[in-house]
Structure 1
Amino acid sequence: MFRALILLFAFTAATRAVEKKPNFIFVIADDHRWDAMGAVQKEHGEKARYPWFETPSMDRLAAEGVRFRNAFITHSICSPGRAGFLTGQYTHANGVMDNGTPFPIDSVTHATLLRDAGYQTAYFGKWHMGNQRERPGFQHAASFVDQGTYQDCPVLVNGVRTPTKGWIDDVSTDFAIDWIKQNHAKPFSVVLGFKSPHNKRGGPGLPERIRNLYEGKTTRRTPNCDLAAVYHPPLTEADKGKERGLSANAVHLDYLRHIKGIDENLGRLLDALDDLKLAEDTVVVYSSDNGYYLGERGLGDKRALYEEGLRIPFIVRYPRLFPKGKLVDEMVINQDLAPTFLDLAGLPAHPGMHGTSFKDLALGNKPANWRTSFLTYYRKELGDTPTCHGIRTDNAKLIFYPKNPEWTEVYDLKNDPYELTRLPADGPLATSLKAELDKQMKAVGFKP
């Protein structure tokens, strides 16, 4: 009888654990490229670009959760990337195709669906959808308009302009932690948006504690720093080795200082969850709205469809369910976040979502039909990157420029990860990639 009671208690506890709704925290940086993380630099060994760079909080999150080593943004620019995370849709479907478009207030997002299911929803920090003041789907917000400022940035607290003091990424984290402390009795879903490491970096844009960090350190060049983008004039021999785009070491140091600052704030957030005994039941995701170029092909932004612009960090921790220290190499995209949050909350994905829950991947169970390619595109706005679209598979890429088809780029990523050698646009690899591109465009209803 006693043994039966013990078994019944154990079964009841396990059932409650499965039924318990997790909390969600999505931490999104601005312009954080995939390899600017201590764990990745250690992994790269002799090929590491900044081998001395450390991010203990991101590394902690990875050690306690799952790191996706092939994570991508499908539209590599700030607002479209953010809209894709929220809606689970490609941007031609959700309507945010550039940085000046406000997020449609009637959009269906992970926040609206979780809110309707009884979750408390809150947004903190950078939103960046034009000059929009609303935060659709979020019941509470402490967020700034457009780019804001790094220091003493006014914040809209539920629509009321409120002065703040200090570095905005510290301030945004303070707002998030304070809200969680007051509202953790019920399940919650929080987004924390960092401004870093977006431009106007360094100097007064940094808190004093890290302004001079890494003095004397140097970063390494990559082989594609001496190439030009296909839409730029080719480099001459005299040009090679010169600083172009954002290839200067001083620029890299400021960029990494900003990431160090947000790593510290991620650590504060994780510590707060520990103190509140919430860590076990809270899904924490860290990622970025796009990748970033640090001088590769003479570039210094995102926008183009080369690897550095598309690849993003992506770490997920959920101690109650996911394993520790797991590495996943299957491709995930930003549209996968929303359906995953809903899946973990026991809710169906909205039928209009293009992404797929990565829950099974994180558990080590690769679905038989998991993607082997994805559509990516960019519509020209600022700068000289032309409108383009393409297909990225697990080992190759094709980029097509509608106004200049002669620029078509084909790369064998398995043997040429830096995209150094353009392959023939009418060769066998190009032919198979064009067929896959047509298939993926049709699947999501994209018409260039």
Structure 2
Amino acid sequence: MLIRELRVTPVAFADPPLLNAGGVHQPHVLRAVLELVVDDGRGAEVTGLGECAGHAWQLDWLELVGSRLAGITVYDTEGVRRLVQGLLKGEVPGVDYGVEAAWRRWSDRTDRPESGGPAPVPAPAFDVNRVYSALEVACLDAQGRLIGTPVVDLLGGRARDSVPYSAYLFYKWAGHPDAEPDEWGEALTPEGVVAQARRMVARYGFRSLKLKGGVFAPEQEIAAVRALRAEFPDHPLRLDPNAVWSLQTALDAARELDGLLEYLEDPVAGTADMATVAAHATMPLATNMCVTRLEDVRPAVVAGSVGILLGDHHIWGGLRASVALGDVCRAVGWGLSMHSNSHLGISLAAMTHVSAATAAVHHDSDTHYPWNAAEDILVPGELELVDGSVAVPRGPGLGVDLDRTALERLHSVYLELGREHRNDRRYLESVVGARAEAPDQANPT
């Protein structure tokens, strides 16, 4: 049951021009697909899957950690975590931290990539969780495949057989500037947001709706929420301005949104201002920004900043840590949901297993999957959103398998792009500079 090797394949897949407080999504998302090859003890191999962000620094670190994984038993996830932490802190002897060494694997590149790593950095200046989490998912997938058990059972068993997700609504352009309009069309007005929601609900059966805000003036986004409430009187609604509002703006907006929202997510930045808004708002405040580590919990509880926490196994350190986070939320009286960023099906499968195993998840989880599902790298039909929910896969491990042809195609796209990082702001600025009409349509603040 020893780890033989870690294969990391960076991929790029198409993404619509979704607006947010930071700018606008670029035409392609960068992700990394992990394959952890394990000896099954009988001379054959089992491969566990993982997925994470595909930024250059993440690839650098995975490459470096992967070079040291061979020989560790796949059941020793704490040993894997200690290895990651030791490497990030520069405590593992004989390690070549040079960028050239870490990127030797990507010899098909013409230019050395821009990168923030690998280099030893003092914890907690760099978050071990973001490197370790995808490795832990791959370990658990391999464990489940080895013994014929779904990951949800390795996490303690099912609290539910299917996991409900929320429609993730975005303001968006009709299409990227150099492309034809996409199938979702434009959504820059309350009417456009409602039309997008209708399509989401009709196609996937979502029973709750979240709007990514922080794009237009607050009154415009409040008008969109009111339009959604009129169209969907029974759907719980959420609004996420990504902490770009001022304190006074947030207080005014919370008053205007009284009776409309299931929760208001990160209206302002920081524990103190969140607490001030929470003291005056009639709806709970949710966060995935001011509480992202266990060390953040106590200050937020003392201040009264948060009513609902949005966990994320990529950020909190994997699936087991996310299940434990449910116990923390129950202990302090918080609700729990799950945060999402642009992702493929491996992450959706992992989210589904961990949410199914976490009884404290009482709010529909976020997912970007409908925006990116057409380019998934899984065998088709293994994961489906039906009535707004994903059934927990019954197969061993995560219960999903790679479509090798799709993986190779998206890896080729990645290599052709030659882009190493995501930068929504830079992309917005490039478009605004090229199109005089863009500022009126895409002001991120």
- Calculate the TM-score normalised by the size of structure 1: 0.31
